[in-house]
Amino acid sequence: MRFKRAGFTLVELLVVIAIIGVLVGLLLPAVQAAREAARRMSCSNNFKQIGLAVHNYHSAYKQLPMQGSGTKSPTNSANAGVAGGGGGNNRILSSYLVGLLPFIEQQAVWEQISNPNNFMTNGNTPTIPWSAMGPVCWQRNYIPWSTELPALRCPSDPGTGLPAFGRTNYAACIGDGVDFTNDSFWNFNQGAWRNNQTWRHRRIQAAARGMFVLNKELKFRDVLDGLSNTIMGGEIATDLGDRDVRTDGINAPGDNATVRDNPLTCRPLRDPLRPNFWDPVQVAVWSGSTADNQNHNVTQKRGYNWSDGRALRTSFNTILPPNNEICQGGADGSAGVFTVSSRHQGGAHVLMGDGAVKFITDSIEAGASSAASVWLNGTNSAPPIANVPGSASPYGLWGALGTRASSEVIEEEL
């Protein structure tokens, strides 16, 4: 009698392994796509909740949350608190997200901010309690400013950790302008805060055409183009420390006026071999007092702290299409070109005034990207006739979506 052993031969085993490998190779991209689709849906839901919070805020206070609110010192003295921490004021630079905290189920964080408190991130006790509404947004020792809030993060964005603190992926729309869009109606002049400089008001009102204007109270009734036709917020990617052109806030070779007159001013500074990143050779001087060993500002980044109402951190304008470079006219806190961006494929989410969340592709019609933005020239030399106050946006459909009252008709469903 012959005895036959049960089992696989080596050839059969290799064939089975090969088949399994092929199936895994075919299935893995589908699994990754499904996971990204889930993350994208979660990101959209987060943004939807912020839109609902804005509407609830407006119902409660009869105005939109201010981009640039809070407290200011009567003498413009030290803003970050005295030695040892505590005290201070936030220099009316708090972002719109601060006021929304009670409306996105973050009442505990709001209570810490709206009342004096005695806690610091380093575990010490401040010399005097932090003032109500907190110190300036770049004060890392203030616990609320350093708190990561999942409701303000997109799951597709991997950014985490220092040197950022309190990241956010959701920014406010400030329109299609550059000129004076990061300037306040308030100005510390001759020993006091003043709100009576007519020329400053005229420049801001001419160029800041979005649903949010720094330090200005706005209401839904101010959106004459219709809430469903006007962008209220947009998604932004946070910086990963890799010189990404979408998140690394470099200074233009010029000033605010240079960027205002040509939004593509910073484009030649891209790496020709890796155009999604800045060229370290071309960008020879990176401004800022906090620098790493490559003389590169480590805090001048996109979405680095949700409490900061300045344009680089939590604002955007509808000039360049999504996922293009950002370019500011000067040091941290300057005006510039700041578009939306994301870690999703092919575009980014925007929040419309009526609370709807749309996905805008990188290929949206955006007019002439090199055209000067709309602004008011107070001298005898007028800007080009196409860019005087009240003009239609030079940036096509994308620019028209960013303006609240320019009487531009949106002829298509996004």
Nearest-CA neighbor of 313 among 327, 290, 330, 332? 332
Helices (H), 134-213: 198-207
Quote the tokens at residue 188. 């510390």
- Per-residue pLDDT of the chain (414 residues), as tens digits, is 565 556 667 777 788 888 888 887 777 776 666 777 788 888 989 999 999 999 999 999 999 999 988 888 777 665 555 666 777 888 888 899 999 999 998 999 999 999 888 888 888 888 888 888 888 888 888 889 988 899 999 998 888 888 888 899 999 999 998 888 887 787 776 677 777 778 888 888 888 899 999 888 999 999 998 898 899 999 999 988 888 888 888 877 777 788 888 898 888 888 888 888 888 776 654 433 333 333 345 567 888 889 988 888 899 999 999 999 998 887 667 788 999 999 998 899 999 999 999 999 988 888 888 888 888 876 545 566 567 878 888 998 999 999 998 888 776 666
Cα–Cα distance, 210 to 399 (Å, whole number):
10
- Residue 45 CA to its chain's centroid (Å): 18
Cα–Cα distance, 49 to 110 (Å, whole number):
17
Cα–Cα distance, 242 to 35 (Å, whole number):
25
Helix (H) or strand (E) holding 315: strand 315-316
Whether residue 163 is preceded by a cis peptide bond, meaning omega within 30 degrees of 0, is yes
Quote the tokens at residue 295. 């003389």
How far from each other are the two terminal CA atoms of the chain, in whole angstroms? 78
Quote the tokens at residue 212. 């949010």
| pLDDT for residue 284 | 52
Cα–Cα distance, 327 to 169 (Å, whole number):
18
Cα–Cα distance, 225 to 260 (Å, whole number):
24
pTM of the model: 0.84
Cα–Cα distance, 179 to 203 (Å, whole number):
7
User: Residue 119, class by beta-carbon neighbours within 10 Å (0-12 exposed, 13-18 middle, 19+ buried)?
Assistant: middle
Helix (H) or strand (E) holding 25: helix 10-61
Going from N- to C-terminal start, the domains of the chain cover 27-64+153-413
Cα–Cα distance, 261 to 42 (Å, whole number):
38
| pLDDT for residue 285 | 45
Half-sphere exposure of 246 (CA within 13 A, CB side): 20
- Cross-strand bridge partners of residue 39: none
In one-letter notation, the amino acid at residue 90 is N
Sign of CA dihedral 343, 348, 349, 350: positive
| pLDDT for residue 30 | 67
User: What DSSP designation does 186 have?
Assistant: -
Helix (H) or strand (E) holding 235: strand 231-235
Cα–Cα distance, 82 to 282 (Å, whole number):
40
Sign of CA dihedral 385, 388, 392, 397: positive
Number of residues written out for the chain: 414
DSSP notation for 167-202: --SEEEE--S--TTTT--S-EEETTEEE---HHHHH
CA distance readout (Å), 123 to 85, 119, 141, 142, 143: 11, 7, 9, 11, 10
Cα–Cα distance, 212 to 199 (Å, whole number):
20
| pLDDT for residue 211 | 92
Report the relative pairing of strands 357-361 and 347-352 from DSSP bridges. Answer: antiparallel
